[in-house]
Amino acid sequence: MLDIRFIKENPDLVKEATRKKHLAVDIDKLVALEEKRLRMLSEIETLRARQNRASLEIANMAGNDPIKVKILADMKLLKGGLAEREAELATLMKEWQALMLLVPNIPDVSVPEGNDDSANVEVKKWGEIPQFPFRPKSHVDLMSEKGWANFEKGAKVAGFRGYFLKGEAVRLSFAIWQYALDFFANKDMLPMMVPSLVRRDNLFGTGYLPQGEEDLYKTQDGEFLAGTAEVATMGYYSGDVLAKEHLPVKNICFSPCFRREAGAHSKDVKGLIRVHEFYKLEQVVLCEANHEESVKWHEWLNRNTEEFIESLGIPYRTVANCGGDLGQGQVKKYDVELWVPLENKYREISSASYFHDFQTRRLNIRYKDETDKLRYAHSLNSTAIPTPRILVSLVENFQQADGSVKIPSVLVPYMGKDIIT
């Protein structure tokens, strides 16, 4: 979240952020509530001070002293008034906190205008689009025919978007995980395997709540199944004071992930593009509270994913997300999109974002700077690679005329073969 002092001093800037992100937040109401909150706090402090002075005055008075009797009567009235004001403040604070949680972060000036992902701006394109001398098949048809996936039984067992991976698709998934772990760990990133089951405060802390609850699976005990390892990883550091000399903190984190995919954008997508249950390696970075540092690590994280995709030989493009396609806490975001031949389009495989101190302020993740002052760290994250979605582009781009699939050379040591049939 933003500092309330920043909001008060820059209301027009915050209003512009809500406009650019196409969000509806009443900033004027929040500022008015903040002024009222400060007045009430001042009044309560004044009443408490009067109460303390009265307690000191009567401490050594005799029980039947008429002055003491009068002071005690006044204190009774004062106590009632204090309780009433505290109750009013508690009610106001609920409204204040609810509004504060809705205020968006300020997008970078380089973020394009736009309503949704159709307005994202291409900044890079890599690789040659394959030209097949035969009629290619979709990953759904090819994997079903070869016995690498069963979508009908997946739906029977798990419902819509359920799937079973079998045989070579399972081995290929494990090969991708192991290669990705080696690739990103070689970027001096600490591997972590993190929980999928998380408490509500971790989702508030990372900005997935309060707006995104419809896309989350919730247990009967009040926990949630996270859609990314970012949530648990940020929760791991919540409340910590990090040593400045240990920054940046760089993690590569693995977890099962769960998303309801409740939005209309995913209704017409078949196969492995948008599934409810998947696996993901996520890059998470905590750095010094400096905009230039955040920009540097943002570019680094996104480039890591680009390099990984290039090593697989899959054509891709990178887009800068427009304001309407940014999350509440994101300052700037890139999407890497892979070529899907049978759809004749690029589809998102990765998102890289930076947040400044939006998340760390909520989660109280700090460090001591060179003057020994406590400061909120900056946070960033980027998808390293999700499975099984990566299989869509890999299978479709590398399919052969006989229905076999060529294995990218970097995966051959992990698969033990260069083609699957």
Residues 43, 47, 50: CA angle, nearest 5 degrees: 140
Q: What is the mean pLDDT of residues 316-344?
A: 97
Cα 339 to Cα 346: distance, rounded to the nearest angstrom: 4
For residue 220, pLDDT over 90 is answered with yes
Q: Inform me whether the pLDDT recorded for 224 exceeds 80.
A: yes
| Structure confidence at residue 265 (pLDDT) | 54
Kindly indicate the confidence band of residue 266, based on its pLDDT and cuts at 50, 70 and 90: low
pLDDT band at 268 (very low <50, low <70, confident <90, very high): low
How many angstroms separate the first and last alpha carbons of the chain? 51
Looking at the domain covering 4-100, what would its CATH class be? mainly alpha
Beta strands, E only, 231-291: 241-242, 249-258, 277-287
Which tokens sit at 308? 């990984």
Could you tell me if residue 247 is left (phi over 0), alpha (psi between -120 and 50 degrees) or otherwise beta? beta
Contact 380, 249 (CB under 8 A): no
Q: Is 381 in contact with 124 (CB distance < 8 Å)?
A: no
Residues 320-347 have a mean pLDDT of 97
Between 68-72, 74-78, 278-282, 289-293, the lowest mean confidence (pLDDT) is in 68-72
- Mean residue pLDDT of the chain comes to 93
Q: Which residues contact 321 (CB under 8 A, 6 or more apart)?
A: 111, 112, 117, 120, 330, 332, 333, 334, 335, 351
The Cα–Cα gap between 63 and 367 comes to 54
pLDDT at 263 over 70: no
Q: What's the pLDDT tens digit per position in 174-194?
A: 999 999 999 999 999 999 999
pLDDT, residue 81, reads 80
Q: Where are the domain boundaries for CATH 1.10.287.40 in the chain?
A: 4-100
Inform me whether the pLDDT recorded for 267 exceeds 60: no
Please write the tens of the pLDDT for every residue from 113-151.
Answer: 999 999 999 999 999 999 999 999 999 999 999 999 999
Q: Report, as an integer, the average pLDDT of 19-39.
A: 96
Q: Taking each helix axis as running N to C, give the angle between helix 291-312 and helix 167-185, from 0 to 180 degrees, rounded to the nearest 10.
A: 140
CATH architecture of 117-420: 2-Layer Sandwich (3.30)
The C-alpha atoms of residue 89 and residue 68 are separated, in whole angstroms, by 30
Give, as one character, the DSSP assignment of residue 399.
Answer: B
Full 3-state SS string of 306-365: HHHHHHHCCCEEEEECCHHHCCCCCCEEEEEEEEEHHHCEEEEEEEEEECCCHHHHHHCC
For residue 80, the model assigns a pLDDT of 78
Run of H or E residues at 419: strand 419-420
Asked if residue 248 has a cis previous peptide bond (ω within 30° of 0), the answer is yes
Residues of each domain in the chain carrying CATH 3.30.930.10: 117-420
Positions marked active-site: 259, 274, 348, 351, 389
**The pLDDT of residue 358 is above 80:** yes
Lowest mean pLDDT among 139-143, 337-341, 368-372, 414-418: 368-372
Round to whole Å and give the CA distance between 383 and 254. Answer: 10
What's the pLDDT tens digit per position in 233-250? 999 999 999 999 999 999
Binned at pLDDT 50, 70 and 90, residue 78 comes out as confident
| Cβ-contact 147, 169 below 8 angstroms | no
369 within 8 A of 382, measured Cβ to Cβ: no
Mark 91-100 as b/e (b = at least 16 C-beta within 10 Å): eeeeebeebb
From 12-21, 40-49, 276-285, 323-332, the region with the lowest mean pLDDT: 40-49
- pLDDT tier at 75 (50, 70, 90 boundaries)? confident
Percent of the chain with pLDDT over 90: 84
Cis peptide before 191 (omega within 30 of 0): no
pLDDT of residue 292 exceeding 60, the answer is yes
Of 69 and 90, the one with more pLDDT:
90
Name the β-bridge partners of 380: 285, 354
Nearest to 357 by CA among 288, 301, 302, 283: 288
For residue 394 the two structure tokens come to: 């890999």
- Burial annotation 215-227 (CB, 10 A radius, 16+ → b, else e): ebbeeeeebbbbb
Residue 116: HSE in the Cβ half-sphere, 13 Å Cα cutoff = 4
Q: Specify the DSSP element, H or E, that contains 185.
A: helix 167-185
Percentage of residues in the chain with pLDDT exceeding 70? 96
Question: Is the pLDDT at 308 greater than 90, yes or no?
Answer: yes
Which pLDDT value is given to residue 281? 98
Burial class (CB in 10 A: 0-12, 13-18, 19+), 121: middle
For residue 322, the model assigns a pLDDT of 98
Give the closest residue to 235 by CA, choosing from 294, 191, 195, 182.
Answer: 195
